Amino acid sequence: MAASARQLLLDELDQPLRLTHFTVVDLETTGGSAAADGITEIGAVRVRGGEVVGEFQTLVRPGVPISPIVTVLTGITEAMVRAAPPIGAVLPAFLEFARGSVLVAHNAPFDVGFLRSACAGAELAWPRFAVVDTALLARRVFTRDEVPNCKLATLAAHVGARTTPTHRALADARATVDVLHALLGRLGTLGVQSLPELRDYSTRVSPAQRRKRHLADGLPESPGVYIFRDRQGTPLYVGTSRSLRRRVRQYFVSSETRSRMGEMVGLAETVDPIVCAHALEAQVRELRLIAAHKPRYNRRSKYPERSVWLKLTDEPFPRLSIVHSRTDAHARYLGPLRSPRQAGAVRDAIHDAVPLRQCSDRLSLRRAVRAACALAGIGRCHAPCEGGITPDRYGALVELVAAAWTGDVRPLVAPLEGRIAELAAQERFEQAAVVRDRVASVVRACARMQRLHALCDIDELVAARPAGAGPDGRPGQPARDRADPGGWELSVIRRGRLAAAATAPRGTAPGPVIEAMLATADVVAPAHEVLAEEVECILRWLEEPGTRLVSASQPWQLPAAGAGGLVRWLANAGPAGARPAGDGRAAVAAPGERRRMPRISA
């Protein structure tokens, strides 16, 4: 008898989730860069139909040092991975374990990025895994009333996971399994039954976003700043783009995966465009608007007033103090620094190199105030409190620190380098790494301050750059494909602040445009408050290849023996040390280098 035909169920048309194999993976690494850092541990759990099929766990020899911070976070030390296999020997076993399954990770781009990079380094083909990100799914499924954030520890506690995340790979993978099952249970009630439906749900556009597509209508295809506002006109979000219309339209399609942006678009009623002459003006205006309005959905650059400074106090025996403003005209300051944590690291490094007092007592030049503390007994302080050092000798130490901030940093770094060599000779490598990181903190802070002040000390600087130029200074794409068909981007910078911006189109002499800019540029007072992020933004634009110096009221130069001269040393000090300016750039001026650019002809 012939078998009767049967109507397939809807969830059988595609791969049903109950039959799908998921491999939930978690990595521990030495840092956040897949190109520069290494994997120290892989943990994975394979599940199907809610049941665990198998587990995979191994330590990995990363091939790069493990920083003390990572050791404290994960508990993985150099000794633990010394005998572990390298990643090239581990990957084939892991790929075989995960074969034929869907790869799942919490913040999947991080873990998958490291695995793909490791496969490329080992010359292994990366299988075309389907990938599910539980962090992204959680942002779609859970509301802020349910969970304050979508960190793994928060979600594991919320769903009652049987394993607590501990920053060890297998434990975190087990916790992610419970989070995944909780998410699938919630999505099942919404009709998500198959793998295609699951992947579509994680990137779908909400109805609120789709209804607001008209907000992009009429926006120009020009560089500038856009401001999303709510019904009361309050700024919700400020952004910048080389094409306002194109960028705003992206908020209403599936390529926008940030959950908070979907929430923001649901509240937005208008989008105000501010057309700018070129990308630098747009970036600067964005920073100023964010600092002024502190929009609810912007996360960075909202509180420039929270910058901190390291202060050499103005008293008989000065000390180092972390402050939030420069109110003492007679004191000397290092900064602005990005956070109290960075300021504390710089202060600790200076104390390692120079025995300045660390107490906060008010000391007298005429008499001893009290008995010395324990720091004097171990040689970390010259005990000015009991007359252990003369004011002149102590003042020389203070001047050494002040000179390092504004000029020659080598006398401050030399004792710390000697300490690193001594610890390394004793095979106390973790302590040596701590001192190395402190040296890098000092050099980065001094280099950043010297770069900022070098530009802020110039009363007026005019510069030009080919419109539409790429990173190498040449046009990034054919003129017919660019919004700007050529010409020059022009900027007037006064004391580190963008005072005017304009564009001289192709075929237009830039001279008259520059004269008009100078006549209408903002007046910047000598005592104006410097917005460090704006100065760094301007510096990046000025230092790109192709930028030309038109005129400058003073020479643009850095100290001959300044912190910028330690770029090569920092590059060998680890991933963090490769960014002495603190803004993601890998180089500053070489010792004694004056900024020279070819002049632009009118």
Walk across the sheet containing 488-494 and list its strands. 497-504, 488-494, 461-466, 548-552
Determine contact, residues 195/20, Cβ cutoff 8 Å. Answer: yes
What's the pLDDT at 584?
36
Helix (H, G, I), strand (E, B), or coil: what is residue 13?
coil
Residues 48 and 190 in one domain: yes
> What is the per-residue pLDDT across 545-573, written as a single tens digit (0 to 9) for each?
889 999 999 998 888 877 777 766 665 55
> What is the per-residue pLDDT across 489-518, written as a single tens digit (0 to 9) for each?
999 999 999 999 999 998 888 999 999 999
Structure-token pair, residue 345: 């690291």
| pLDDT for residue 574 is more than 50 | no
Place of tokens 């791969």: 15
Please, what is the average pLDDT of the chain?
A: 82
Q: What is the dihedral of CA 238, 244, 248, 250, to 10 degrees?
A: -120
595 occurs within a structural domain:
no
Residues 259 and 142 in one domain: no
Mean pLDDT of 433-459: 87
Closest CA to 68 of 527, 579, 436, 318: 436
Determine contact, residues 449/475, Cβ cutoff 8 Å. Answer: no
Mean pLDDT of 332-348: 86
Residues 211 and 198 in one domain: no
The tally of domains found in the chain comes to: 4
State how far the alpha carbon of 405 is from the alpha carbons of 283, 329, 344, 400, 549, in Å: 29, 17, 16, 9, 27
Residues 324 and 395 in one domain: yes
Instruction: Give the structural domain span for 402.
Output: 306-406
Give the Cα separation of 160 and 362 in Å (integer). Answer: 54
- Cis-peptide into 336, omega within 30 deg: yes
Q: What is the dihedral of CA 550, 554, 556, 559, to 10 degrees?
A: 170
Determine contact, residues 455/552, Cβ cutoff 8 Å. Answer: no
Determine contact, residues 350/283, Cβ cutoff 8 Å. Answer: no
Residues 58 and 196 in one domain: yes
| pLDDT for residue 367 is more than 70 | no
Structure-token pair, residue 483: 């919004």
Of 25-39, 358-372, 450-464, 485-499, which gets the smallest average pLDDT? 358-372
Residues 363 and 468 in one domain: no
Structure-token pair, residue 312: 């050499």
Residues 374 and 471 in one domain: no
> Could you write out the DSSP letters of every residue in 123-149?
T-PPP---EEEHHHHHHHHS-TTT-S-
| pLDDT for residue 390 is more than 90 | no
Place of tokens 């030309």: 548
Give the Cα separation of 24 and 198 in Å (integer). Answer: 16
Give the Cα separation of 244 and 265 in Å (integer). Answer: 16
For residue 251, the domain's CATH number is 3.40.1440.10
Residue 128 CA to its chain's centroid (Å): 30
What's the pLDDT at 591?
33
Residues 107 and 140 in one domain: yes
Residues 102 and 154 in one domain: yes
125 occurs within a structural domain:
yes
Of 84-98, 348-362, 434-448, 470-484, which gets the smallest average pLDDT? 470-484
What's the pLDDT at 198?
83
What's the pLDDT at 481?
39
Give the Cα separation of 138 and 146 in Å (integer). Answer: 11
Residue spans of alpha helices (H) in 426-473: 429-456
pLDDT band at 602 (very low <50, low <70, confident <90, very high): very low
Question: CB 24: neighbour CB atoms within 10 A?
Answer: 30
424 occurs within a structural domain:
no
Mean pLDDT of 575-596: 36
Residue 534, amino acid = E
Determine contact, residues 244/226, Cβ cutoff 8 Å. Answer: yes
Closest CA to 491 of 555, 537, 454, 527: 537
Final residue belonging to a domain, choices 300, 333, 358: 300
361 occurs within a structural domain:
yes
State how far the alpha carbon of 169 is from the alpha carbons of 97, 193, 217, 441, in Å: 16, 29, 47, 30
Residues 231 and 328 in one domain: no
Check residue 49 and give left, alpha or beta (phi > 0: left; psi -120 to 50: alpha): left
| pLDDT for residue 125 is more than 70 | yes
Helix (H, G, I), strand (E, B), or coil: what is residue 16?
strand
Final residue belonging to a domain, choices 509, 535, 553: 553
Length of the chain: 602
Final residue belonging to a domain, choices 203, 225, 260: 203
> What is the per-residue pLDDT across 169-182, written as a single tens digit (0 to 9) for each?
999 999 999 999 99
Q: Where are the beta strands (DSSP E) in 203-304?
A: 224-229, 235-241, 270-275
84 occurs within a structural domain:
yes
331 occurs within a structural domain:
yes
| pLDDT for residue 484 is more than 50 | no
Residues 255 and 318 in one domain: no
Give the Cα separation of 600 and 94 in Å (integer). Answer: 58
Catalytic (active-site) positions: 167
Top mean pLDDT of 40-44, 312-316, 335-339 is at: 40-44
568 occurs within a structural domain:
no
| pLDDT for residue 405 is more than 70 | yes
Instruction: Please enumerate in sequence order all residues whose Cβ is within 8 A of that of 585, keeping only pairs 6 or more positions apart, or say none.
Output: 540, 543, 579
| pLDDT for residue 468 is more than 60 | yes
Instruction: Please enumerate in sequence order all residues whose Cβ is within 8 A of that of 471, keeping only pairs 6 or more positions apart, or say none.
Output: 544, 545
53 occurs within a structural domain:
yes
Structure-token pair, residue 573: 């000090």
Of 96-105, 156-165, 267-276, 419-428, which gets the smallest average pLDDT? 419-428
For residue 144, the domain's CATH number is 3.30.420.10
Residues 117 and 156 in one domain: yes
Place of tokens 């911070």: 69
Q: Which residues pair with 465 in a beta bridge?
A: 489
Proportion of the chain above pLDDT 90, given as a percent: 37
Walk across the sheet containing 332-337 and list its strands. 320-323, 308-312, 332-337
Determine contact, residues 252/205, Cβ cutoff 8 Å. Answer: yes
Tell me, what DSSP letter sits at residue 250? G
